[in-house]
């Protein structure tokens, strides 16, 4: 029987990996993903909502129908087949001399392996990849919150179905090594607090909140406004970090005015869409948390930006400095100090990590591979090569690759090579 890494290598039709040096500490990967089972929709969603969210087949392909509308955001929302880990790396490197589309660069899909669906085989795969601990994010939840925006009640119901499945199948703390991150959606404040209590009672170590405004019964508004203070007060009291993971951008409706009638598929970008939207959702969400005072009213909240890259950080600091010089009385404290106190950033592997460390400090930068998504690293430990090329010293590397993620969750780092896996195999 093949090992987990052998399974992945076989699925990628590539040669077995070669040994890579392992650090003398357990690597903390702040961005891993699982692929949810279709049972999230077919079994965990209450029956009275079955017609609102369902899988349908169109020309032989599975699609998600949301209140009668077919979304193409995820090409295969059942995840029986998925893009291979790292398939999009050449695209994000800017290495596309033939001008292939992102879909063409994806190549043939692979079968969704047990290690992508279940915690026990995933833990075995982590051992072989050299990852000791990880934050594990859902994939389908992104589609649901985006697609259900404007229906507050159904949004909460669907998110709870995801959380129930996550807890039943993965738990929120699997053997003190896999920390699955449940979703909290905020359109209805009381229900958000109820959901927060539900995940806290079940051992959640972090929560996931979509970076953007929420649409309640009275329209859209910022989650940083004082009306949400009861929620943020409970978050601070619980000491649970808030992860703002990349999501479908709220600015999509603005982009649609420039290029109408485009697909909503995440795998069909356009040059203008990339330039207009970029990662404004996370920059705007962090700006709101600072400018509207939420992080000053609740200064102990730890906010982690995950899979949003890092290019936006310097721009946001520049804009905060400008706003503070113009309107100092509108801020409870210097906004630059707030950002450096409350924010942790997981850069993309292709980002200038040395510049980010200069801006944020090495103690607020966290490694995340985005495994096994196609835009992430198929070999998480390959990030050490990027750190070396950027001239990041060993002490800072240990903070980025181990200490900061553990500290975010209130855990003691494991400073032993044995904890990081022993096989020496990696995916090639």
SS (H, E, C) the chain: CCCHHHHHHHHCCCCCCCCCCCCCCCEEEEEEECCCCCHHHHHHCCHHHCCCEEEEEECCEEEEEECCEEECCCCCCCCCEECCCCCCHHHHHCCCCCCCCHHHHHCCCEECCHHHHCHHHHHHHHHHHCEEEEEEECCHHHHHHHHCCCCHHHHHHHHHHHHHHHHHHCCCCECCCEEECCECCCCCHHHHHHHHHHHHHCCCCCEECCCCCEEECCEEECCCCHHHHHHHHHHHHHCCCEEEECCCCCCHHHHHCCCCCCCCCCCCCCHHHHHHHCCHHHHHHHHHHHHCCHHHHCCCCCEEEECCCCHHHHHHHHHHHHHHHHCHHHCCCCHHHHHHHHEEECCCCCCCHHHHHHHHCHHHECCCCCECCCCCCCCHHHHHHHHHHCCCCHHHHHHHHHHHHHHHCCCCCCCCHHHHCCCCCCCC
- Which residue stretches of the chain have pLDDT < 50? 1-3, 13-18, 417-418, 420-428
Residue 427 resides in a domain: no
- Residues 6+ positions from 153 with CB-CB distance below 8 Å: 188
Cα–Cα distance for residue pair 189/196, rounded to 1 Å: 11
The confidence score (pLDDT) of residue 427 equals 31
pTM above 0.85, yes or no: yes
**Phi, psi for residue 243 in degrees, rounded to 5:** -95, 125
Residue 329 resides in a domain: yes
Q: Which of 37, 135, 109 lies closest to 346, judged by CA?
A: 135
Cα–Cα distance for residue pair 340/231, rounded to 1 Å: 23
- Residues 6+ positions from 418 with CB-CB distance below 8 Å: none
Cα–Cα distance for residue pair 210/282, rounded to 1 Å: 9
Tokens encoding 341:
């106190």
43: left (phi over 0), alpha (psi -120 to 50) or beta: alpha
Cα–Cα distance for residue pair 353/400, rounded to 1 Å: 10
Is residue 83 within 8 A of residue 68, CB to CB? The reply is no
Cα–Cα distance for residue pair 373/90, rounded to 1 Å: 14
Residue 371 resides in a domain: yes
User: Using omega within 30 degrees of 0 as the cis cutoff, is the peptide bond preceding 223 cis?
Assistant: no
Please give the residue range of the domain that contains residue 146. 4-420
Residue 426 resides in a domain: no
Residue 307 resides in a domain: yes
The confidence score (pLDDT) of residue 422 equals 40
Is residue 368 within 8 A of residue 27, CB to CB? The reply is no
Cα–Cα distance for residue pair 292/376, rounded to 1 Å: 33
**Phi, psi for residue 279 in degrees, rounded to 5:** -125, 45
Residue 370 resides in a domain: yes
Tokens encoding 214:
């929420």
- Residues 6+ positions from 252 with CB-CB distance below 8 Å: 264, 277
Class of residue 167 by CB neighbours under 10 A (exposed 0-12, middle 13-18, buried 19+): middle
The count of domains in the chain is: 1
The confidence score (pLDDT) of residue 1 equals 38
Is residue 346 within 8 A of residue 306, CB to CB? The reply is yes
Coil, strand or helix: which one is 106?
helix
Residue 182 resides in a domain: yes
Q: Residue 352's domain is classified under what CATH number? A: 3.20.20.140
Residue 425 resides in a domain: no
């Amino acid at each position: 029987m093949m090992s987990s890494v052998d399974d992945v290598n076989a699925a990628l039709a590539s040669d077995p990996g070669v040994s890579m040096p392992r650090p003398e500490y357990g690597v903390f990967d702040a961005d891993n993903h699982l692929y949810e089972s279709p049972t999230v929709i077919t079994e965990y969603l209450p029956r009275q909502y079955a017609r609102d969210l369902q899988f349908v087949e169109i020309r032989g392909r599975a699609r998600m129908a949301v209140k009668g509308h077919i979304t193409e955001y995820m090409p295969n929302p059942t995840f029986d087949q998925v893009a291979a880990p790292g398939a999009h790396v050449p695209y994000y490197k800017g290495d596309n001399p033939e001008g292939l589309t992102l879909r063409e660069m994806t190549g043939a899909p692979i079968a969704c392996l047990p290690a992508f669906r279940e915690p026990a085989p995933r833990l075995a795969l982590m051992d072989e990849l050299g990852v000791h601990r990880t934050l594990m994010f859902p994939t389908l939840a992104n589609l649901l919150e985006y697609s259900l925006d404007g229906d507050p009640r159904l949004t909460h119901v669907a998110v709870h179905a995801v959380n129930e499945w996550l807890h039943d199948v993965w738990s929120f703390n699997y053997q003190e090594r896999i920390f699955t991150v449940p979703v909290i959606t905020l359109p209805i404040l009381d229900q958000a607090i109820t959901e927060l209590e539900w995940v806290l009672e079940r051992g959640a170590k972090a929560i996931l909140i979509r970076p953007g405004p929420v649409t309640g019964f009275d329209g859209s508004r910022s989650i940083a406004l004082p009306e949400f203070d009861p929620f943020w007060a409970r978050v601070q009291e619980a000491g649970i970090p808030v992860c703002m993971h990349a999501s479908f951008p709220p600015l999509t409706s603005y982009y649609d005015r420039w290029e109408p009638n485009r697909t909503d598929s995440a795998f069909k970008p356009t040059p203008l869409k990339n330039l207009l939207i970029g990662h404004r959702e996370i920059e705007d969400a962090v700006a709101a948390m600072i400018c509207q005072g939420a992080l000053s009213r609740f200064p102990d909240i730890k906010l982690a930006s995950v899979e949003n890259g890092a290019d936006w950080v310097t721009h946001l600091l520049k804009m905060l400095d400008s706003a503070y010089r113009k309107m100092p009385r509108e801020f409870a404290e210097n906004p630059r100090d707030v950002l450096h106190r409350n924010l942790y950033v997981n850069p993309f592997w292709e980002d200038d990590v040395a510049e980010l460390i200069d801006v944020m400090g090495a103690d607020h930068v966290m490694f995340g591979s985005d495994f096994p998504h196609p835009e992430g690293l198929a070999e998480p430990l390959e990030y050490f090569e990027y750190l070396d090329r950027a001239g990041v010293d060993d002490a800072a590397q240990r903070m980025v690759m181990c200490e900061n993620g553990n500290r975010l969750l209130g855990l003691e780092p494991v400073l032993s090579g044995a904890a990081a896996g022993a096989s020496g195999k990696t995916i090639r």
